[in-house]
Amino acid sequence: MNPRFEPRLLFVVGRTLSALSLAAGFGLGAGCVGKSQTPAAAPGAAGGEMAKCRRGVQPAVDGLIDDFEDGTNQVATMGERDGYWYQSADQLGTKITHPPESFAASEGGANGSAMSAHLTGHTVAAGDQAWGVEFGGNFLSAKGEFYDASRYAGISFRAKAPGKGIKGVRVNLSDVNTHPEGATCKACYNHFRKDVNLTGEWKEYRVLFSELQQRPGWGDPRPESVTPSKLISVTFAVGGVDSDFDIWVDDIQFLECKK
């Protein structure tokens, strides 16, 4: 299995004044959040402690990763996050037609908002090397640092896939054990992920850390679970088939346990 079979498309992260003021108006809950240790000081873990939400989950007060309303390519600067969005495609025939070069937020968003992430193009089926397209964002701008998301329980986002193209999207979280920057993996890029099937209309999707799994049969190491305290990025990937894609994503945020 080719470890690069994880399309790379990352978005411009938006941040709104309302979200910032909301975060300022409420105290943070118990637990850690923010920058974690560097790889030199923190070797790979067998898996991470995860929040157990007996009462369910809700959007975290400081959880906005991006709503794309500001039109920049930086994630929302909340919870010590300061990373950037990117997009990428394999070199075996897969094409991103929009945005044509680098990622830029597009007009039209969920629930009548102004902006969102919107990518269109065509993926090819040409073996494991044709990994498709990926868009995602690094939580921190500095390479070699981990983001501590241990106070959160997962992420949510709104998305749609109109037309007859690809509906299945892989939602990946890279961490100390799966990303080369973690200085741990020997067979990298088998990130913890969950597959979701989009519809033609905007809909909210929730992905809990406890639901994430690696793809079977490859990857080294293969810990039992993602390590929330040592995350690197979140990505959305499509590919592996010969098909057009028209994917919209908006309102990406962390979830926390209900108190």
pLDDT for 134 beyond 90: yes
What's residue 52's pLDDT? Answer: 83
Q: What 3-state DSSP class applies to 35? A: strand
> pLDDT confidence of 49, banded at 50, 70, 90?
low
The pLDDT assigned to 7 comes to 37
Q: Does the residue 11 lie in any domain? A: no
Mean pLDDT across 76-81: 96
Q: Is the residue at 6 inside a domain? A: no
Query: Does 5 reside within a domain?
Result: no
Is the pLDDT at 15 greater than 60? The verdict is no
Band the pLDDT of 34: cuts 50, 70, 90.
confident
Q: Does residue 3 lie within any of the structural domains?
A: no
Instruction: Report pLDDT for 129.
Output: 81
Residue 144 neighbours by CB distance under 10 Å: 12
pLDDT, average across residues 237-253: 96
Tell me the residue ranges of DSSP E strands in 49-208: 57-66, 85-89, 95-98, 106-107, 115-123, 133-138, 147-148, 154-160, 168-175, 192-197, 203-208
Q: How many domains does the chain have?
A: 1
Find the range with the poorest average confidence among 21-35, 78-92, 161-175.
21-35
> How far does CA 216 lie from the centroid of its chain?
20
CATH of the domain at 66: 2.60.120.430
pLDDT at 113: 97
pLDDT of residue 220: 96
Which residue's structure tokens are 């997962």? 154
Give pLDDT, residue 178. 97
End-to-end Cα, the chain, rounded Å: 42
Half-sphere exposure of 98 (CA within 13 A, CB side): 13
Q: Are 81 and 35 in contact (CB under 8 A)?
A: no
Average of pLDDT values for 50-69? 94
Range of the domain at 97: 17-257
Three-class SS state of 17: helix
Q: Is residue 58 part of a domain?
A: yes
Q: What's the pLDDT at 14?
A: 38
In the prediction, which pLDDT does 31 show? 47
Residue 45 located in a structural domain:
yes
| pLDDT single digits (tens) 112-121 | 999 999 999 9
CA dist 182 → 26, 158, 206, 231 (Å)? 33, 29, 26, 9
- Mean pLDDT score, 120-144: 92
Smallest Cα–Cα separation from 190: which of 201, 177, 205?
177
Helix (H) / strand (E) element for 23: namely helix 17-25
